[in-house]
Amino acid sequence: MEGLRRNGPVAITLRKGVEEMKHICRNIGTPLGPAILMAEEDHVVRFAFIGHPLLPHPGSIGNYAPESPFLSEAERQIGEYFSKKRQVFTLPVNPKGTTFQCLVWKTLMEVPFGKTVSYRELTLLTGKSKNLTRAVASAIARNPIMIFIPCHRIIGSDSSLTGYAGGLERKKMLLELENL
């Protein structure tokens, strides 16, 4: 955990209750393969590579919005990240999950570009007991907004690459992109 710094306020919004939100979506190309980007209002709610196990059925995800200024900005920021011109995303995110999952995802956003931490270290950063490391790993596996919420920066306690819903090859490539 040495050198891990807090990046200031984390742009994460939690909404209580079951609200009917209209999602807008866009398929985008990345150096790691095609992905889908989803937003509601002015928040990113999902970014995942096509084939991701938690991606909903295409007919149930919302309206495709090729002309959305918000999605265009999100796509621009993703492109800058892959071009090594961006280290921090500035768009707000609103991941859907339990209170515990949202705590883990918010803590993930505090792991800076170019830094990795172990699952155990991340568990301690959440303020929870190290006995909850498996629960933290499970929450990480359900991260709906890959890269924006950088779950790829979490590694095994022996520095091994473990678990990534986008595939270990993509995790390795993302860490290489960040010079790790």
Which residues carry out catalysis? 151
Alpha-carbon separation of residue 117 from 41, 42, 90, 127 (angstroms) = 32, 30, 22, 15
Long-range contacts of 30-37 (CB under 8 A, 24+ apart): 30/78, 30/82, 31/82, 31/173, 32/166, 32/170, 32/173, 32/174, 33/170, 35/78, 35/146, 36/61, 37/71, 37/74, 37/75, 37/78
Rounded Cα distance between 75 and 121, Å, is: 31
